[in-house]
Amino acid sequence: MRDECAQVVVVGAGLGGLSAAVFLAQQGIGVLGISKHRGTSPHPKAAGQTHRTMELLRRAGVADEVLAGSAGVAGGLVIKVAESLRGRVFHTIVHEDDELDTGLSPERHGMSGQDHVEPVLLRRARELGADVRFETELVSFEQDDDGVTALVRDRPSGREWTVRADYLVAADGHRGAVREALGIARQGRGPLSHHIGVVFDADLADHLVQDRFTLFYLRNQAFTGVLAATNTERRNVFTVEYDPARESLADYPPQRCAELLRIATDVPDLEPDIVEVTAWEMAAWVSDRFRSGRVFLVGDAAKVTPPTGGLGGNTAIGDGHDIAWKLAAVLKGEAGPGLLDSYEAERRPYAELVVDGSFANYVQRFAPHLAGPDVPEPIDPLRLVLGYRCRSGAVLVEDDDPAPMEDPAQPSGRPGFRAPHVTVEHDGAVKSTVDLFRGWTLLTLNPDWAAADVTAPPALDVPVVRDTTGELAKRYGIGEEGASLIRPDGVVAWLDPERPTDATAQVTAALTAVLSR
């Protein structure tokens, strides 16, 4: 047995785990990532990246590489509830001419699948110095007041050793052993349905909308399921509901899958190449806690959401970024340990909104027979993605508005909300405010605020910007006199709309409070 040390051990190398590794390594934190699997996911699932996710990937320096995976389906999105590809349409959720890019972000909406995004994140994590190892599993772990000791095993050889770390991030999925070992229960509607997933190759170009990610929820007399294109030429995905009490995966040989595909596509002579057939469960769960001592749950380890809404993978990336910048701040001595309390306080309510909204979509698209007063109201996806309000000790909220979201097209700039995208002039170039937020940033048009001298870490950037459109003063609620303190994740931490009386003292006090120092 040999021993190793790392500042953070990340268990799992999916979207959540790799995101955590990327953003920790980007901030100089020593990361060991382990995964029991042989490599990244080969499955074209979790397709689609929201504007918020793309902004985070932009900070990681991989936005363009991720977007490259959208080739062939980058033109937008089409979602229909129908009998089959050419059959009766019951409901169109996203029309062919609907515009996804609303001008609220400098980034485009992505359409890449998990099989493309994970390798991009893996390469970036290793490039930044993270040590990510596959076929390496967590055997057990113990934590104490000073850190976590993990026993890990190399699966091919069986060799075991210990790793001592300050913190552990559990990104090991919905069946992850870490959450179970911690005794953290889950609440929710639980299993919703069971599905046979079929990855197949066939030329459906004449049956799908060109250059758009096409998704059909199918309600057919023969089955209930989904058919979707992918960013890979001829590669498509089909799922069909089944009852595990009456059938199993063995009851879906390639011949039967091909017959179902002919019905789904309205192509009687279709001869699909069946690549893979798997069984999976659609469920809705939220863990009771996202943290236990020095261990944090991210992604599907923290919540399991129906894919009806496309936010499972996006939320995992958001979790990974959120815990990463907060752990980095504590490990670098910029923040007190109390900052870590804000992870669950901010991410768990968001997970509940995501799961509720996705369940409402599930009922509408898959199971209208479940409609009733106990089904949550549908949630506007733009409000959920760009208008959510973080509430914790890491933001200084002074108003008493209880609303969890606001319209991002009419941003208020109040603490807790995402700092809105506004085009400004900075360093002689026209750019988005989103690109100014690499660390802690004080955004102001008043030179009195710009004179704030904050000597204690973290470093505070006060960019000199020109508000050529007048939008910055309005959308940030700072006018010509005030200032807005922006966190490294692009969330407003504190706002003062007035001219400062003592800029240094006021900004220092705000930083001290939100960083739990």
Catalytic residue, candidates 167, 217, 252, 476 = 217
Three-state SS for 394-407 is: CCCCCCCCCCCECC
CA angle 458, 460, 464 (to 5 degrees): 165
* Spatial separation of the C-alpha atoms in residues 418 and 405, rounded to whole Å: 10
Pairing of strands 148-154, 213-219: unpaired
| Token pair for 244 | 């595990």
Determine whether 362 is an active site residue.
no
* Spatial separation of the C-alpha atoms in residues 223 and 264, rounded to whole Å: 9
* Spatial separation of the C-alpha atoms in residues 444 and 442, rounded to whole Å: 6
* Spatial separation of the C-alpha atoms in residues 54 and 117, rounded to whole Å: 11
* Spatial separation of the C-alpha atoms in residues 316 and 303, rounded to whole Å: 9
DSSP string, 274-304: EEEEEEEEEEEEEES-SEETTEEE-GGGTEE
Give all strands (DSSP E) within 437-501, no chain letters: 440-444, 460-461, 465-466, 483-486, 492-496
Q: Do the Cβ atoms of 30 and 7 come closer than 8 Å?
A: yes
Q: Do the Cβ atoms of 96 and 209 come closer than 8 Å?
A: yes
The residues that are catalytic are: 217
